[in-house]
Structures are given as C-alpha cells and as structure tokens.
Structure 1
Amino acid sequence: MASFPTSLRGVLEQIPKAAIDSLEEIRIRENRPLEISYGSRPAFVKLDGSLTEDYRVAYVPGRDECRAMLEKITNHSIYAVEEELRRGYITIAGGHRIGLAGRVVLEKGQVAHLRDIAGFNVRIARARPGFGAQVLPGLLDEREQTIGHTLIVSAPQQGKTTLIRDLARCISSGEWHHPAAALWRGRKVGIVDERSEIAACEKGIPSFDLGPRCDVLDACPKAEGMMMMVRSLSPEVIVVDEIGRAEDAIAINEAIHAGVKVLATAHAATLADVFARPVLAQLAAEGAFASYVLLTRRGGKVAHRVVSARQAMLEGASRSGFKTATTTRPRDAPEARGAEGAGHA
C-alpha cells in the first residue's frame, strides 16, 4: 500500500477483506474507473471501497494521482529505472510487478522508453507453499534423483511464476513429495530472476522462501544469467521464467549439456501453442524437456496437467501443423515412468 498515493490508498484499504485476501491485480488508469481482479474475477471499486460491476459509479483516479504513483514506484527518479521503463514494467519490493501503459518512444525502430504514463497494472506476487507438492512427483527423474527438464506453460495470470517459486523451494529443501524420493537430498538451485518476481530480492536477499540451497541472479537477462550460473555457481537445477527468445534456447541447451536440469516457464495456452512458437517448438523437437506442465484457471483454482515429451509431440505438433523428421527422446525421461497426470492446486 505504500506504493500508492494517499487518496488512492484510502480507497483500496477499504476493499472487503475477502477480496484483499485473493487480490491478483489492481488497475489504475488515468481518468478511468479503478478496477481490481480477485479470485479470477474482475470488479470496479467505488469511493468507499465497495465493489461493483457498474463502471459508471466507480472511483476515477486523476492525473495528479497517476503522477504521484509514478513518483512513488520510481523513488522520484525515473532515470534510475530507465531500463525497466523500456521494457514496460517496474518491479517493486515484494516482487510485485507493475505494468505500465503510455506513449512509446522509439529510437531506430526500437523501444527506447515510455512517456506520458497514464496506466498501471499492479500484479500481486504471493507465495503459495504447497502449490508445487501436487505437481513435483510427476516431474522427477528417478535415475538421477532430481527433477527432469521441465517446461511449465499457460496463458498469463495462471500461476506459472507462483508454481516455479514453490518448486524451487521444494527442490532446494529436498521436499520431493514422493515415497520413492524420501531419501533424496536437496539440490543446488540457481534462479535467474530477470524481472525480480520469482525471488523478490531486496539488496540481493530473496524476500520469498526458496529453501536453503538457492542462489539468485536478480534483474539479470535470462540467457546471460544461465551461462553465468553454469560458469560460477555450479547449480544442479536452473530456474527461469518466461522463455521464448532464440538466445534463451541456446542458453538452455548449453545448461542441459553441462549436466544442469532446467525448470522454465513460457506463455502458451495449449501444447499446440508451444509448437506454434518457433523457439519453443525447436526445443521440443530436440527433446530438451522431459515433461510439460499445462496450467489452466478454473474458477478460484488452478488445474494442472503433466504431459510427457512424447505425448506433447504427438498432441501439440499434430494440432499446430509442426513438421519434424524425427522425434528425439528426451535425455532424462525414463521409459517406464508414467508422466501423464492431472490435478488441482
């Protein structure tokens, strides 16, 4: 709440507790109604904090409030967060990402920065201990007694970051949630936290519990960070969020061939979407991942489905029209292990 101007904070602090407890997003748009998202549903906010579906009676933040908001989240120095502004977001203490809307300034055809910022989307970061417990047993590499290479996919705001955060904690702590893994030790986990959301570091120290054997490269580009991890921090598992660029694929393959397990997320609503994205499709065709986890929001719960690499190729490639001459068996997928599964978190 300290990131909001006084007048706006006064409205938000009156929101019903049930909505606060399940709050996901706060959307502030200059001269437009204040909106929140909670428990997978949207609502507009009135002056007294009560919720409504009628935008015409909602509280409307003005220019002064939006300017004050920008000053607060940048600590009165826009130049200090110039790189984040170029990417369209600012991450504040606690790992909360604030998306920004405004006028884009281009230099040589590339986004240089944003100006005239008049929209903010505050995405609330939450730790969900136990979220990974239902998913992790289907991702294990029993031969090497660790997690297999895994890609978690979903549309935005389905829980990918929350899930990998808890999976990192489980792996680091040795909480494998499977009878066969009762004696397995925890693994050294390296998190490349490009957007400062997974660990929510403050002065290099994670705000979230990531277990006892975890190192974080905060605000570091993914591809470069993965190579830095491999060269200097000897991780056994590398965790990265939202892959999709060609350089990400190169770094993932380098990490895999260096004997490091990779746990990553990507935006894709279905397996067909995975194979429709060239970089992800190529990684899949090369057998980079042993398992895929698909997350979907159903009401107030997140449903998950674990799919083996072979099934993903059959299901996703055929539906997307992706063509490949050969299907490479994943490097760490035991033939006998059942990788299909479903559940709720």
Structure 2
Amino acid sequence: MKKLCDEIINSLSMNLREKIKNISNDNVSIEEIRLRSNKPLIVNANNKDYFYNLNSNKLDLNMDNPYIVSKEDVEQTFQIICKYSIHSFMDDIKKGFITLRGGHRVGLVGKAIVEDGQVKNIKHISSLNIRVSREVIGCSDKILSHIIRGENQVNNTLIISPPQCGKTTLVRDIVRNLSNGNENYGFKGIKVALIDERNEISGSYLGQPQMDIGIRTDIIETCPKDLGITMLLRSMSPNLIVTDEIGNMDEIKALYTALNGGVSLITTVHGDSIEDIKSRKELSCLLDKELFTKVIILSAKRGPGTIEKIYDLEEKRWYFAN
C-alpha cells in the first residue's frame, strides 16, 4: 500500500503527525482522515471506519481507548492548511474546502457567516475531513469500449455511483484517456472541457492540475457547473464536456444546451441504480436517451471502482457486470 504523502502528514497538528505517519504504514488504504473536536479520531480505510487505539498505537475497528481529537488539534491543523494566513484562503473557506498540493481535499465545517443568502466565511472550525486523492492510471481502460464510438466519437455517458465508490478516480482516468488518445481503440484524442466544481478531478493547486488529466484538457475550477458549461462552450470549442455530481435542474438544462451545441457529455450522479435515479423527480430526465446513451453503475462491492453493469439506453439492454 502506498504511504500517505508528506503533504498530508505535514498538514496535521503536531499531536497527530506521528500517529497518522505510523498507521500509514499499516496494510490499509486510507481514504479519509476525520478530525472532529472532542471526538475520536476516525480514519476511513478499505471502506471501513477505524479508530486510533492508544494502547496499541494502531488502527482498531473497536472504539477501545481511542485518541480524542482536541479543539487545539483542529485549530492547529486548520492554521497549517491555510499556511497561517486564513485571509489568503478565504475564497476557498467560504466554499467549504481547501485543496492541498497533490490534489488532496480538506472539507471544513463550523459556524457559517451568511450575508444576502451567500456564505461569506466559516468561523470556529469544528470538523475537518481530509480526503486522500489517488490516481489509478488505466482504471478506465476496461470500459473505454463502451464510451468510445467510432473514430474520435464519444458516447454521452452517465455514471451512477454511491459516495466513496471511486467515481472521481474513474472520471479522472476517462478524461486522461480521451484527452491523450488511446492507441488500442484507434482513438486520437479530443478537446476536453472539465468543469471541476469541487476541485477533485484535477486536484488543481494554484491553477496547476496535480493529476494527469491529459494534454487536450481545459479546466475551470470551483465554478458552478451550469455557469461553467456556458463559459466553456463559448470560449474553448470543446468536443467533450465532463462534470462531476449533477444535482439540479439548472445543471441539467446546461447539459441540454451543450448537447444542442454538438458537444459530447460525460457526468456523474449520486445514486445506486437506474431505478433510484428514476424515482427522483428532478434527476429522472438524466435517463432521457436523447441526453445520454450509456449508463455505468458503480459500487464498492469488490473495492472502490467496481463496475456493476452498463446499460445502453438506445438498445435497452444491460451489457455486463464484473
């Protein structure tokens, strides 16, 4: 298992650094580190919640003498993440997350300061969630045959996935493959426009993507998806628009606008099945075969990124489950 990078470890309070450094050597794949003031330290790994056991100095599924995260741990970690200049990170703070070098995202919550219906600041930070970002180069290779359609053409594809099932990792690798091209499919590569609203796909830090998203990819970060789609259509002449986590009608309308402009689409939505999406009124139109032709269902049954099955909305048939 790849150890946690120094960027994550060095972003933690002094009390937490050695503890996290030690457990990063254990045989687990750490996905999240949860710091909640005056609550046990929780590490999500292998899709399970572990506690740091002070007796053994190891991770334990049982809450036996766990390390309790102090208010000082949270405050010090927050200051380090902001490089001791909270004002410099205010634009990120009011969005609820900060991106570390390497593409790792730190979510934060506390007292929201709201003015005119907009969050202007978050004070008295009470919880931090460090999400470990990892690239899995080639993880999308096995589904490219369902995404690529003919010479440099792409099927409009919807990926349905519950949280923590590897959808962001999969989308990132799809973008890389379609942007660079793939010799195995005779695919030369196309112009990809990526709307990375939560800065998870590219993991950009100071404007530079930390992940391999291909040579023909243009990114707009931390921008609402409906606005980002309109901007990129006007300015970057993309062949393909990629977004993550479509969730409302404004975003869906923007997808139709892109479609009417002759642009291909790949996006994701939270859910666990086609039936789940059909049951949600605002999202059910995502299954319009005029909008998407392929639907990929993800799960974590055999680890994050498990391809459950693929549905063709035109042919009305399931292809496979692995």
Judge same fold: TM > 0.5, yes or no.
yes
Number of paired residues?
312
Shift of 1:216: 1.2
Partner of 2:321: 342
Q: Which residue of 2 aligns with 1:195?
A: 198
Q: 1:270–1:128: structure 2 CA closer, same or farther, 3 Å change rule? A: same
CA offset digits 1:187-242 (Å, max 9, x no partner)? 11111111111111223221111122111112222111111111111111111111
Q: What is the rounded CA distance, in whole Å, between the counterparts of 2:22 and 2:152 in structure 1? A: 49
Q: Is the 8 A contact 2:146 2:155 kept in 1?
A: no
Instruction: Give the conservation status (yes or no) of the 8 Å contact 2:103–2:204.
Output: yes
Residue 297 (structure 1) shift: 0.5
The correspondence of residues 255-266 of structure 1 with structure 2, limited to 5 A, is 255-266=258-269
Segment of structure 1 superposing worse, 237-246 or 105-114: 105-114
- Residue type at the aligned position of 1:308: D
Question: Are 2:153 and 1:146 equivalent residues in the alignment?
Answer: yes
Q: Which runs of 4+ in 1 moved over 6 A?
A: none
Partner of 1:224 in structure 2?
227
5 Å-filtered alignment, 1:85-96, equals: 85-96=93-104
Q: Identify the residue that residue 3 of structure 2 maps to in structure 1.
A: none
Superposed CA offset, 1:276-327 (max 9, x none) = 3333212323621111111010143532121112577xxxxxxxxxxxxxxx
Paired position in structure 1 for 2:310: 306
Give the corresponding residue for 1:327.
none
RMSD: 2.3
Greater Cα shift, 224-233 or 162-171: 224-233
Quick one: structure 1 residues 83 and 204, their matched pair in 2 at CA, closer, same or farther if it must change by over 3 Å?
Answer: closer
In 1: Cα distance, 2:78 partner to 2:37 partner: 12
Q: Which amino acid aligns with 1:7?
A: N
Matched, 1:125 2:133: yes
SS of 2:163's partner is coil
The 1:16–1:200 alpha-carbon spacing in structure 2 relative to 1, beyond 3 Å, is: closer
Deviation at 1:112, TM superposition (A): 4.9
Q: Secondary structure at the match of 2:23?
A: coil
* Correspondence list, 1:175-194, <5 A: 175=182, 177=184, 181=185, 183-194=186-197
Distance 1:184 1:16 in 2: 39
Query: Given that residues 236 and 260 in structure 1 are in contact (C-alpha distance below 8 angstroms), is that contact kept between their aligned partners in structure 2?
Result: yes
Contact kept? 2:40, 2:51, Cα under 8 Å:
yes
Paired amino acid for 1:39: N
- SS of alignment partner, residue 241 of structure 2: strand
The answer to whether the 8 A contact 1:133-1:176 is kept is no
2:218 aligned residue: 215
Q: Which residue matches 1:70? A: 78
- Structure 1 residues 309, 83: closer, same or farther in 2, change over 3 A? farther
In the alignment, the residues of structure 2 paired with residue 133 and residue 222 of structure 1 have an alpha-carbon distance, to the nearest angstrom, of: 26
Give the corresponding residue for 2:5: none
2:236 aligned partner, one-letter code: L
Separation in 2 of the partners of 1:272 and 1:176? 36
Cα distance in 1 between the residues matched to 2:282 and 2:101: 32
Alignment of 1:35-114 (within 5 A): 35-47=42-54, 49-107=57-115, 111-114=119-122
In structure 2, runs of 5+ residues without a counterpart are: 1-8
Give identity over the alignment, percent: 32
The one-letter code matched in structure 2 to 1:99 is G
1:185 CA displacement: 1.3
Aligned partner letter, 1:309: L
Q: Structure 1-normalised TM-score?
A: 0.83
C-alpha contact (below 8 Å) 2:164/2:304 kept by paired residues: no
SS in 2 for 1:119: strand
The one-letter code matched in structure 2 to 1:121 is N
In the aligned structure 2, how far is the partner of 1:301 from the partner of 1:252? 27
Q: Which moved more, 1:247-256 or 1:164-173?
A: 247-256
> Post-superposition shift, 1:93?
2.2
1:258 positional shift: 0.9
